[in-house]
Amino acid sequence: DFNNDRVSLARLQGNKWQELVGGEHRFRARRRNIRYEEMLQDLIGIASADLFWSTFCVGQPLPEPGQLSQSVQQLLSGSGTYGGEALQKLEHWLGEKTRYTGRLGVSSRDKNKDRELELLQQEKLQLEQAVQTAVASVDAVHVLEEQIASLEQQKREAEKLLAQKEGLHRDWVRWRSLRERYINALQEQRRLYQAQQEAISLQEKLDKLAQEIEQQYPEFLTAPQDLEADLDALVRLEEDLQQQREEIGKLKAAFEKQKQELQQLQEELQGPLAPVVGRPHLAREHRELLQSLRQQQELQNRLASLDSQEEEARAVLTELQAWAGLGEKSLAYYRQAARSALQKYAELQAMLQEQETKQKELASRFGLLQQGSPELLALCRDYHSRKAALEQEYNAVREGHRQASEQLRRYQEEKEDIERQFADLAEIPASAIAMIDSKLDLERKKRALEAEEGTVHTGGRGRACLLVALLALAGAIISLATGQPLVALGLFAATLVAGAYSYVCSRKSKAQTASAELNSVVAELHKLEAQLGRLAQHPLDELAAIHERLKLREQRRQVLSALAGDLPSREQLVRLEEKLSQAGKELTEFKRRLQPVIETLGDPQAAFYEWQSRQEELKRLQERLTLFAREQYGVAPEEVASLNPREAEGWQEVQLLAAIQGEEPETVGEAASWLAALPDTCWADWQEEAERYQEAQAVLHTCTIQRRELEQADEQGRSSLERLAEKIAGLRQKIAPFTETSSGEELEQLLARCSAVEKELEGTRKVLNSLQQNLQEQERKLQEQINYREQLATKLAAILAPAQGQVLQARERWQQWQQMEGERKELSAALAGLFKGWDVKGLEELELKVIDANNTAIQVKNEWQQLVESRPGLPGLEMRDQWEQLEAEYAALEQELRQLQEQIRSLADQILERNKELSVLMSPDVVNIAAARDRIADLELECERLELETAALALAYRELAAVQNLYNTTHRERLAATASQYFSDLTCSPGRQVVLDDNFNIKVAEANGQMVEVTQLSQGAQDQLQVALRLAIADLVAGDYRLPLIFDDPFLNFDNTRLAQLQVSLNNVAARRQILILSHRQEYEKWGLPAQVEVNNN
C-alpha cells in the first residue's frame, strides 16, 4: 500500500492466503523492517532496491553505448556496482596513506608525492637526526671557536702581504702604461716623417705633370665639352662608310649570279622535263593503273579459291551429319549446362549425406541427451551455475560451522590460558589493583619526604655554614685592606654569631614540617597494608610486577567476556550441522545424476550447448536441403533421383547429348550416372567434331556470301571483271607516252624535279627583285653618310690639324691627354687626402706636427726614466724590447695577487661558515632531546599502525582483483554465448555474435566476420543489444531460480519490426520465468496474459 507504506507477503495455501511477513517498510528509512528484508533475501536473493534495479528490472533510458561495459559488470556483480569501483576505492584509500602503491602491487607505479605514512617516517627521521645533532653540538662549539681564532689570524697576515703586493702592482701598471705611451709616440713620430716625405714627393710629381700637359696638348685646353662624342662619331662614320662600300660590291656580285641561275632553270624546263610539265597527276594515274591490274588478278584468284573451299565444306558436313541436332547452340553451352546440372545434383547428394552423418552423430555421441528428461537437460544446461551455487552453499555452511567451532575453541583456549598463566593470582580479587596503586604511590611519597628530611639535617646545614664563612672572610679582607684589624675581628665574630642563629631557626622550622607529612603517609600505609594482608609483605618491585599482571589479567578477562557474548548456542550448532549435512547430500545427489553425462561427454554444460548447437545445425541443414530441392527441381529431396530429365531444369540438354551418343536415360539419376561416367577425353573428341561441323557450315555460308558479292552486276549489267577491264584501258590512254611497264619511281623523280625547278625558278625571280631594291637603298644611305662626315670634319678642323687631318690619330692624342689629366687629378687627390688624414692644410702645418711629435716622445721618456729611478724593483728602459720577459714578471705578480685574494676570500668564507655553524649550535632552536625522544616513540607507534593498514588494504586489493579475474574468466564465455543467441533472435541475423573481451568491453561480430563497435550500431540495434544482455545476465545470475523480469517502458527506440521480434523472444523467455511490462503504450496489451490483483481481506 503506497499510501501508508505497508507491505504484506502472503502464500496461497488451498483457498486461503497465509501471511508470511508484513508491516511498514519505508524506502531509506532509518528503522528497517528486518524480517521483511530477510524474507526477500531468502526468496529472490535480493533485499535492496538498487540491486533490484541493477539486475531484474529494466528501466529507461537504457545505458549509452560507452557505458555498456560498465553496466554489464554492474549487472554481473549483483551489487549495483562493479568490481572496478571497489578496486578504485581501495586504491584511493591506500593512496591516501602511502605513496608506494606500485611496490604493493596495487598500481603500475608509485605516487610522486609522499603521503601520511612517508610524512610521519620523514618526521621521525628528522627528529632522530636532530637529537644526534643536539648531542654532538656541545662538543663542537669549543672546536669551532678555536678554528675561528686561527683563521682570523691567518687572514690578517694575508691582508698585510696583499697590501704590499698591490703597491708594487700599481707601479708596474704605470711602468707598462709609460712604455706603451713612449712606443706609440715613436710610432707617431715615424708616421709623420713618412707622411712629410710622401707629401713633398707628390707635390713635385704634380708640378712636373702639369707642365708636360701644357707643352704637348695645347689644342685640348680650350676644347668643347662634346669633343669626345664628336671624335667617336667621326671614327664610326669612317668605319661605316667602308662597310657600306664593301656591302654594295657584294650585292652587285650576288645579282649577277642569280641572273645566271635563272637562265639555267629555264633551259632545263624546256629540255628533259618537257613531257611532265603541266601533268601533276601522272604518277597517281600510273599507280592507279597498276592497282587495277592487281585487283583484276586477285579477283580471278579468289573465285578459284571459293570453288575449292565449297567442295571441302560439303564433304565435312556429309561426314558429321549427326551433330546437326545441336542447333545454333555450341557444344560448350551444352557442356556448361551438363556441368551445372551435375554440380547441383552432387550438391544435393552431399547435403543428404551430411544430414545422414549428423543424425548418426546425434544418435551415437549425444544419445544420453537425446533420450534425457527435461529435468536432466535443465541440469546440464545450468551445470556450472547450479554446481557453483550448491558448492557455494555447502562451503558457506561448512565455513559457518567451522567459524562457530573455531569461536568455541578459541574461547576455551583463551579461558584455559588465562587460568594457567594467572593461577598464582587466583585468590587475589580485582579490587586489589586500586589498593596496590595507592600503596605504591604512598611508598614513593614516603621516600621523597625521607629524602627531603635528610637534606634539611645535612645539606642545609653545610650550605649555611659555608655562606657564613664566606661572609666573615669577605668582611675581614675588607677591614684589613682599610688598615683596621680590630674592626675586621669584630665583623668576623658578629658574622659567626648571626650565621649560627639563622641556621638553628631554619633547621627547626623545616624539620617540623617534613616530620608531620611523613607521619601522615606512614599512617595511611599501615591502613593499606592491613587491607592487603599478605600482599603487603612483598618487596615493592615484586608488588609492582604483581600489579601489572593483575591489570593484564583483567584486560584479558574483558576480552574473554566479549568473545563469550558472540559465541553460538548449542541449538545454533545443531542447526548448522543439519544444514551442512543437507547441503552435502544435495551436492552429492547433483553429481550422481550427472556422473554418466560427465563420463561420456565431459563438461555437461558445454556438451548441452554443443548438442543444442548440433540440433540447430541439423535443423538448418534440413531446411536448406528442402529449400534447395524445391527451388531447383520442384519436388522433395528424396524424389529428385527418380524425376524425368525432361521435367528437370538443365537436364533436357543432357538428354539431348545422350541421344546424340545413342543413349536414352529415363531418370535424372540415370542421366547423372551416365554423365559422371564420361571420361575427360570424350568431351574433347565431341568438341573437336562439333567444331569441325560448325566450321564447315560457317565456311560454306561465307563462301556463298563472298561469291555473291564478287559476281554482283552494276546497273548496266557489267560484272566486276568487266568494269576493271574498262578502267584499265582508260588509264593507259591518260599516261601515254608512258605505260604500265614504265618505272613508277622514275616518274616520281621527274615530277619531283619538275616541281622543284618551277619553285626554284619562282624563288630566283623574287631574289633578283629583292637584290635590286636593296642595292639602290644602300647607295642612297652611302651618299647621306658622306655628307654628314664632311660636316663633322669642318667642325673639328682645329683638333684634326695637329694630327694632319687623321681622325684616328686625333682621337689617340685625345685619349693620351685624358690619361695624363687623370694622373694629375689622382696626384692632387692623393695629396689632399694625405693633408686631410693628418688634419693639416699644407706642408708647413705638417712640418709643425712632426716637431710636436718629437717633443712628446722626449717628454714621455723623461717621465718613464723618473719612475724607474724612484722604484728600484722596476725594470730599466733598456728592457722595453724584452716583452716576453716583462710579461712573465707581470703575470707572476698578478698570479701572486690573485692567490692572496683567493686565500683571503677562502679564509673569510671559512670564518663565515664556522660562525654559521656556531650560531646554529648556540641558537635557541636546538631540539629538546627528551621531548624529541618522546615524540619519536609516538611516531613509531603511528607508523606501525599505518603500515599494518596499508598492508591490509593492499592484500584486500590483490584478493579482490584475483576474485574479479576468476569471475570474469568463468562467466564471460557463457554470457557471450547466451547474449549472442538472444541478439541474433532479436535482430533476425543468425550469424551475429556478441563478443566480450577480458575487461567485458562489448563488440558485435557480423556474419562475415567483421567486428563492429557498439557506437556504430543504430539506436534501435543498441537497445536490442542491451535487452539481449539483460536477458542473458538474468539467465546467468538466476540459474534455476525463476526470478521475474520487469521492463519499465524501456523500448522507446524500437520500431514495429523490432517490437514484433522482441515479442517472440519474450514469449520464449516467458516459458521459463515471469515477465512484467510497465508501459503507457497500448500495443503491449495483446502481448501476454491479463493480470488481476487479488486483495487479501484476511
Please write down the HEC assignment for all residues of 546-576.
HHHHHHHHHHHHHHHHHHHHCCCCHHHHHHH
On whether the CB atoms of residues 1049 and 1081 are closer than 8 A, the answer is: yes
- Average pLDDT for the chain: 76
pLDDT band of residue 461 (cuts 50, 70, 90) is very low
Nearest partner of 203 among 842, 848, 816, 821, judged by Cα:
842
Residue 463 has pLDDT above 50, yes or no: no
Asked whether 590 and 379 are in contact (CB, 8 A), the reply is: yes
Asked if the model's pLDDT at residue 456 lies above 70, the reply is no
Q: How many CB atoms lie under 10 A from the CB of residue 124?
A: 18
The strand pair at 6-13 and 57-58 is best described as unpaired
**Pick from 696, 691, 689, 646: nearest CA to 671:** 646
Amino acid 956 reads A
Q: Can you spell out the DSSP letters for 872-887?
A: TTSPPGGGTT-HHHHH
What CA–CA distance (Å, rounded) separates 399 from 389?
15
List, for residues 385-405, the tens digit of each pLDDT value.
788 888 888 888 888 888 888
Distance of alpha carbon 88 from alpha carbon 74, whole angstroms:
14
Half-sphere exposure (Cβ direction) of 598: Cα atoms closer than 13 Å: 9
Buried/exposed 451-483: b ≥16 CB within 10 Å, e otherwise: eebeebeeebeeebeeebeebbeebbeebeeee
- The whole-angstrom distance between residue 52's C-alpha and the CA centroid of its chain comes to 41
Please tell me the predicted confidence (pLDDT) of residue 221: 67
Cell numbers linked to 581 = 549435512
What's the average model confidence in pLDDT over 143-171? 81
What lies within 8 Å, CB to CB, of 382 at 6+ separation is 605, 1039, 1040
162, 168, 174, 177 alpha-carbon torsion, rounded to 10°: -80
Is the pLDDT confidence value at 512 over 80?
Answer: no
Q: Cα–Cα distance between 816 and 742 in angstroms, integer?
A: 82
Look at 478-487, 790-799, 840-849 and tell me which has the smallest mean pLDDT: 478-487
Q: Show the cell assigned to 492.
A: 668576623
CB atoms within 10 A of CB 805: 12
pLDDT at residue number 967: 65
Residue 82 burial (CB < 10 Å; 0-12/13-18/19+)? buried
Cross-strand pairs, 1011: 1005
In the DSSP assignment, the letter for residue 63 is P
Give the Cα separation of 915 and 909 in Å (integer).
10
Reported as type and span, the H/E element at residue 1078 is strand 1075-1078
> Do 348 and 632 touch, CB atoms closer than 8 A?
yes
> CB-based contacts of 882: which residues, under 8 Å, 6+ apart?
875
Residues 6+ apart with CB under 8 A from 528: 435, 438, 439, 442, 536
pLDDT value for 391: 82
Report the distance separating Cα 927 and Cα 133, nearest Å: 9
Contact by Cβ (8 Å): 711, 302: no
Q: What are phi and psi of 6, to 5 degrees?
A: -100, 145
Query: 10 — phi, psi (to 5°)?
Result: -130, 160
What's CA 544's distance to the chain center, in Å?
70
1059 pLDDT more than 70: yes
Q: How many other C-beta atoms lie within 10 A of the C-beta of residue 148? A: 18
Grid cell digits, residue 378 = 535443465
Q: How confident is the model at residue 471 (pLDDT cuts 50, 70, 90)?
A: very low
Residue 1025 clears pLDDT 70, i.e. is over it: yes
Q: What is the pTM for the complete model shown?
A: 0.29
Residue in 989, 1033, 977, 1034 with CA at minimum distance from that of residue 610: 977
pLDDT in tens, 279-333: 777 778 777 878 888 877 887 787 788 788 878 878 877 777 666 666 667 667 7
pLDDT at residue 475, as a whole number:
41
> What pLDDT was estimated at residue 464?
41
Q: What is the pLDDT of residues 841-869, one digit of tens each?
A: 888 888 888 888 888 888 888 887 777 77
Strand 6-13 relative to strand 16-24: parallel, antiparallel, unpaired?
Answer: antiparallel
End-to-end CA distance of the chain: 15
Name the pLDDT band for 732 (thresholds 50, 70, 90).
Answer: confident
CA distance 768 to 1069: 116
The Cα–Cα gap between 101 and 90 comes to 11
Digit-coded pLDDT (tens) for 529-576: 777 777 777 777 677 777 777 878 787 778 778 777 777 877 878 888
**CA-based angle 1088:1092:1094, to the nearest 5?**
150
The residue type of 180 is: E
Share of the chain above pLDDT 70, in %: 83
Mean local confidence (pLDDT), 923-930: 66
Q: Can you list the alpha helix ranges (DSSP code H) found in 602-650?
A: 604-633
Strands, sheet with 1011-1013, edge to edge from the N-terminal-most edge strand: 993-996, 1002-1005, 1011-1013
User: Which CATH number is 48-113+936-1086's, of 3.90.1150.10, 3.40.50.1100, 3.40.50.670, 3.40.50.300?
Assistant: 3.40.50.300
On whether the CB atoms of residues 954 and 992 are closer than 8 A, the answer is: no
Residue type, 715: E
Each residue of 742-772: pLDDT tens digit?
Answer: 777 877 877 787 888 778 878 888 888 888 8
In this prediction, residue 47 carries a pLDDT of 53
The DSSP annotation for 949-1004 comes to HHHHHHHHHHHHHHHHHHHHHHHHHHHHHHHHHHHHHHHT-TT-EEEE-TT--EEE
Q: Strand 993-996 to strand 1002-1005: parallel, antiparallel, or no bridges (unpaired)?
A: antiparallel
Q: pLDDT, tens digit, for every residue of 964-1016?
A: 776 666 677 778 888 888 888 878 777 788 888 766 788 888 877 788 888 88
Q: Please, which pLDDT band fits residue 76 given cuts at 50, 70 and 90? A: low
Q: How confident is the model over 10-31, as a mean pLDDT?
A: 74
What's the CA gap between 1091 and 1095, in Å, rounded?
Answer: 13
Name the percent of the chain lying above pLDDT 90.
0
Residues across the chain = 1098
Residues 187, 857: Cα–Cα separation, whole Å: 10
Q: Which residue type is seen at 28?
A: R
Residue 423 predicted with pLDDT over 50: yes
Region at 174 (left for phi over 0; alpha for psi -120 to 50; beta for the rest): alpha
Beta-carbon count within 10 A of 72 CB:
24
Q: What is the pLDDT of residue 206?
A: 83
351: left (phi over 0), alpha (psi -120 to 50) or beta: alpha
Average the pLDDT over 374-388 and give the result.
82
Torsion of CA 824, 825, 827, 831, to 10 degrees: 140
Distance CA 989, CA 995 (A): 15
SS3 601: helix
CB within 8 A of 596, min separation 6: which ones?
Answer: 368
| Domain residue spans of the chain | 1-43, 48-113+936-1086, 117-215+838-922, 227-277+746-820, 282-318+699-742, 422-568
Do the beta carbons of residue 922 and residue 59 sit within 8 Å? Answer: no
Strands (E), 599-713: none
Contact 1074, 1045 (CB under 8 A): yes
497 pLDDT exceeds 60? Answer: no
Cα(49)–Cα(27) distance, integer angstroms: 9
Q: Is 640 helix (H, G, I), strand (E, B) or coil?
A: coil
CA distance 485 to 477: 9
